[in-house]
Structure 1
Amino acid sequence: MSTIRAAPITIDGKAVGHVGFGMLGLSIPWAPVDYPVAVNLMKTALDQGANLWNGGIHYGTPQANSLHLLKYYFDKYPEDASRVVLSIKGAYDGKVGPDGSPDGIRASVDEAVKVLGGTKTIDVFECARVDPKVPIETSVKALAELVKEGKIGGIGLSEVSAETIRKSHAIHAISLVEIELSLFTPDPLKNDIADTCRELGIPIAAYCPIGRGLLTGKIRTPDDLEQDDFRRGLPRFQLGVFAQNFKLVEAVERIGKDKGVTTAQVALGWVCRQGAIPIPGSTNLERVAENCNPASLTDGDMAALHNILDTLPISGERYGGVHEKLLNA
């Protein structure tokens, strides 16, 4: 659990920096950011080594989403295209759900390629969720055809079980698995997902590595969230369980203070020690720089964090409702 990945992490032969940079933090569901401001955040992250960029076609509207922001960025900095490892999620509609059919996947990839307009290739394409109506083998075969055609560089998986990873990898090499992994969600370390990825040599991209902002320590009560903040609707932020969940934040804060680092940096350092690539998002320039410098944790730190996880269980589902049923599929 506390083993550092010794070798550099590569995705389809491209080296990935010590921490990825989540495009999620630059558009909805977080506060929208003007493109020039977002570009400054992205440039700062890249210059500090965060070169795994993760976005989604459904992060925004059909007229303004991650792909449009990326095109804007690479029009301004075309020389950065070769520096970035770009992972895009698609084949998903927030209202309808996933579409893992060959036609649905192809339409999603074609749309992404069209919006990027040749400014940047898609290094990895992920179906944002597994479509329960379509066998995973069918979806992966469709993605493999798109790799063969040169429309995408590799295949990623998002929110999948260990069994799905093995089934998929048997059909075509999987370049990346994206899962929620943090001190608030250490589940992949217990349900064979992380072990399977290590066995097969598949890099893990850890989304929400700071527990949707809880591990910044800035959110100390649910009332610290704006009224329209979507996190108010998530089970772990509800008044009835928040106090229990915040005990973990306070415990991690103490470790951070002892080391002279922030709570978020401890959280990111923990993810790195799992051999995963954290992909935090932020609309704050200072926070972006902070996120690019995870804490260096000792074996003693890791043991203390392991004890915290054992003694302070987290209450509440990750998403709740219909969205919860699509996790670890």
Structure 2
Amino acid sequence: MPQVILPKTLAGKPVGPVGYGMMLLTLLGGIPYEECVKPMKAALENGANLWNAGTFYGPPDANSLQLLSYYFERYPEDADKVVLSIKGAYDASKNVPATRPEQIRASVDECLAILGGRKSIDIFEAARTDPNVPVESNVNTFLELIKEGKIGSYGLSEVNAQTIRRAHAVSPPAAVEVEFSMFSRDALEKGGVYDTCAELGIPIIGYSPLDRGWLTGQLKTLDDIKEGDFRKFYPRFQPGNFEQNVKLAEFVEQIAKKKGCTSAQVAIAWVQQQGVIAIPGSSKVSRVVENTTPVKLTEAETAELQQAIDKVKISGHRYPEPFHAYLNQ
């Protein structure tokens, strides 16, 4: 395949080849902040300085923002090293976007109040796009916030090619964030998100590069997903779908074993090979080190992976039905 170059800067700041997704640290609670800071510190020390946070990764009083405030209070010297991307303007209680101008402003102001001046917002994204609120309105609100010094730049999340073009016509986004992995390749459809971003020169950030654990090599049977695990509600992990999808995970694991690395490292290398910045998340230092350890795929390995991707049809939607209305908008 042709040589693809990973973005080296976002929002005018240098970023490493892998980022760090913070969702797992706070979404379900239960992890003390003093433990959360360990993988965060490990991410930064291993070059993953693009941190992806969310106002809805946990309850209003204990989400990414409170954790970030805690971290930068203890490590103020790291504030300028981290490129912070925050997804907000989203009503988690109803699972709907909140992207009217006053709602975007309220979300940004709340983030800044919680951060308390300890860290600036380098990129702010509306987590989802409301089809009833023109994206042009969103971008104009973001431009006002940039002019006021409240955010450094804006990004787009879960959008389609048409929305990207409309937003770009007002002002180019710093990045477009999409779900991207060997399991989730919708962005690669001809004329879609990937082609559009390549044409317009917009970096792509790929969330869930390990597809919620599928590409870690740890899932073999349905029994590996314990009761209470949120994945129990996701279509790809349902009986029937699971048995089909595990086939691709097994192919990836075989290649990783031959290469002498892990399935996760192969999966992240594949995402990087497309020129997309992967933002895997983990609450364990060992996993952060694993995910940030670089692996290069050979042409033969790439071809073998492509054969597996072509052979195994992924079964089941990437999200449960209640979330579908605001995906790829």
Could you tell me the TM-score, scaled by structure 2's length?
0.97
Q: Is the 8 A contact 1:217 1:249 kept in 2?
A: yes
1:170 matches 2:169: yes
Secondary structure of 2:211 counterpart: coil
Q: Is the 8 A contact 1:203 1:276 kept in 2?
A: yes
1:51 matches 2:49: yes
- Give 1:12-161 correspondences, 5 Å limit: 12-29=11-28, 32-96=30-94, 97-161=96-160
CA shift, 1:23, in A, is 0.7
CA shift, 1:4, in A, is 4.2
- Structure 1 distance, partners of 2:325, 2:318, is 10
- Structure 2 distance, partners of 1:163, 1:327, is 13
CA shift, 1:209, in A, is 0.2
CA shift, 1:132, in A, is 1.9
Deviation readout 1:164-223 (Å, 9 max, x if unpaired): 111001111200111000011011111520111122121111110001011111121222
Unaligned runs of 5+ in 1: none
Secondary structure of 2:244 counterpart: helix
Partner amino acid, structure 2, of 1:34 = P
Deviation readout 1:244-268 (Å, 9 max, x if unpaired): 0000000011110111010110000
- Structure 1 distance, partners of 2:309, 2:327, is 21
- Structure 1 distance, partners of 2:202, 2:51, is 17
Unaligned runs of 5+ in 2: none
Secondary structure of 1:133 counterpart: coil
- Structure 2 distance, partners of 1:299, 1:201, is 26
Distance 1:167 1:8, change over 3 A: closer
Aligned length: 327
Distance 1:8 1:136, change over 3 A: closer
Partner amino acid, structure 1, of 2:107 = S
Distance 1:90 1:231, change over 3 A: same
Could you tell me the TM-score, scaled by structure 1's length?
0.97
Q: Is the 8 A contact 2:156 2:176 kept in 1?
A: yes
Deviation readout 1:135-177 (Å, 9 max, x if unpaired): 1111111111111111000010000001111100111120011
Q: Is the 8 A contact 2:49 2:82 kept in 1?
A: yes
Q: Is the 8 A contact 1:244 1:315 kept in 2?
A: yes
Q: Is the 8 A contact 1:126 1:157 kept in 2?
A: yes
- Structure 1 distance, partners of 2:298, 2:26, is 35
After superposing on structure 2, the runs of 4+ consecutive aligned residues of structure 1 that deviate more than 6 Å are none
Partner amino acid, structure 2, of 1:212 = R
1:242 matches 2:242: yes
Secondary structure of 1:325 counterpart: helix
CA shift, 1:226, in A, is 2.2
CA shift, 1:8, in A, is 4.6
- Structure 1 distance, partners of 2:217, 2:204, is 25
Q: Is the 8 A contact 1:91 1:127 kept in 2?
A: yes
- Structure 2 distance, partners of 1:195, 1:33, is 39
Percent of aligned pairs sharing the same letter: 53
CA shift, 1:7, in A, is 6.2
- Structure 1 distance, partners of 2:265, 2:45, is 18
Structure 1 stretch displaced more, 15-24 or 300-309: 300-309
- Structure 2 distance, partners of 1:206, 1:141, is 25
Distance 1:105 1:294, change over 3 A: same
CA shift, 1:61, in A, is 1.1
Secondary structure of 1:175 counterpart: coil
